[in-house]
Amino acid sequence: MEKSWKQEPSREIIFQKRCFQDYYLKSVVDPPFRFARREWGFFPFGGKMMFRHISFQRSEEMRRFFRDIVPMHSYYSVAYYEEPALKPMGDKFKTWMGSDLIFDLDADHLQDADTMTFEEQLAQVKREVRDLLFDFILGDLGLPPEHTYLHFSGGRGYHIHVRAPEVLQMNSRDRRAVVDYITGKGIKFEALFPEIVTDVNIKYGSAKTERDFRDRSYGGWVRKIYEGKDKMIDQLCERETKKDKIRYLLDISRSKKLDIKDKKCESIVDDLFSDGDGKTYQRMKDKDTFRLTASKRMDNDFIKLAATFSSIDLKGETDEPVTTDIKRLIRVPSSLHGKTGLKVLVLDPYKLDEFDPLRDAIALPSDEVEVNITEPFKIRMNDIDHDLEQGKTVVPKYLAYLLIGRKKATLF
């Protein structure tokens, strides 16, 4: 008798697929803008390979695919093609017509993500996407709000889609320049706060200069660096000991790869909290300046650290900036996220503060499911607090899916 090497799906995979099947039988997946010009890709339940180079010409054809195939993860291209199903990719790209400009913020980039709960990660990413959207995209970059769309990813992050005509033909290099501005790459203190001549001695051919500490109303990265300075000083004030303050700066340096070492961090802490009357930090908060005394200012390492509080990490699911990739696949709105069971949603940016993904993105029913909790887990979901101890328990189906997807439980 021949052995079958085909691995049967686990009970958990069968459960997850049935959840999605019930959803797609009852719910309509909205076709994205110009969906017939986009490439589609899908991960099946229990599979490790994406099936892509798929296209749909009619919305009912797309919806039937979801009902019949029941994908675990669903994506469409940010690019538009004359022949979106053509392969290989090189041939397809010859028919490229343009790409949406995409920004992806996910909890993976958070400095202390490993120490945060799932809810804390979601809350922090929401704060950062608000800054990215209103401060950078609609603010500094001036992209039109009528062509800018905010999506909850269904997982731990958000996607911002810009479909303005002026961005569609931008190549990867142009998009890289956008990323560099948002992340603060190449920011130069000397250019933002230039030396200006204050006095000229004609007799001796000499001149006095001083640093122009422009007011934050100057805007752009001048304002952002001042705001970052204030936030960083506030964080340092919360650390009780000098050692804790130094460690905090070192953590920032390491996470941002600034290469600012122990002695420099100690020198910065001394300048702010120890030297002189020990109130330098307060003066620097009260006034827009980086000057320690009449003759001495903070050096550029302090400015680099301060700037990190206003820069934003743009990292996608592969730890690679999504914005520069004009062939990227992005999650389909109104599809379900395979790891959480939550719905990918198009949001009103001006109602972001009211949005609770663990309430508003729930798409699965509340039928009770018996699960075995593998480790204690706390979460507030659908406005209900769940304090789950290890072992057998009963939870709503939407929570059972999330627990199984995050490897916190198995079916009992």
Q: Catalytic: which of 100, 104, 288, 301?
A: 104
Topology of the domain covering 11-181+315-364:
DNA primase, PRIM domain (3.90.920)
Q: Count each helix (H run) and each strand (E run) in the chain, helices first.
A: 14, 17
Query: Residue 316 above 50 pLDDT?
Result: no
Q: Catalytic: which of 106, 271, 301, 325?
A: 106
Could you tell me the two tokens for 355?
């949005």
Do residues 381 and 364 lie in contact, with contact meaning Cβ atoms separated by under 8 Å? no
CATH of domain 365-412: 3.40.5.50
pLDDT tens per residue, range 70-112: 999 999 999 999 999 999 999 999 999 999 999 999 887 776 7
Residue 360 bears catalytic tag: no
Residue 104 bears catalytic tag: yes
Using pLDDT thresholds of 50, 70 and 90, give the confidence band for residue 162: very high
Q: In what order do the strands lie in the sheet with 368-373?
A: 391-396, 368-373, 409-411
Could you tell me the two tokens for 371?
């699960």
Q: Catalytic: which of 215, 234, 319, 348?
A: 319
**Residue ranges of the domains in the chain?**
11-181+315-364, 189-307, 365-412
Query: Residue 402 above 70 pLDDT?
Result: yes
- Computed over its alpha carbons, how large is the radius of gyration of the chain? 26
Q: Average pLDDT for residues 175-195, to the nearest whole number?
A: 86
Query: Residue 179 above 60 pLDDT?
Result: yes
The whole-model pTM stands at 0.85
C-alpha distances (whole Å) from 240 to each of 244, 245, 273, 278 are 7, 8, 11, 14
pLDDT score for 315: 55
Q: Degrees (nearest 5) of the Cα angle 305, 306, 310?
A: 115
Query: Residue 319 above 60 pLDDT?
Result: no
pLDDT score for 2: 47
In the chain, the N- to C-terminal Cα span, in Å, equals 33
Residue 212 bears catalytic tag: no
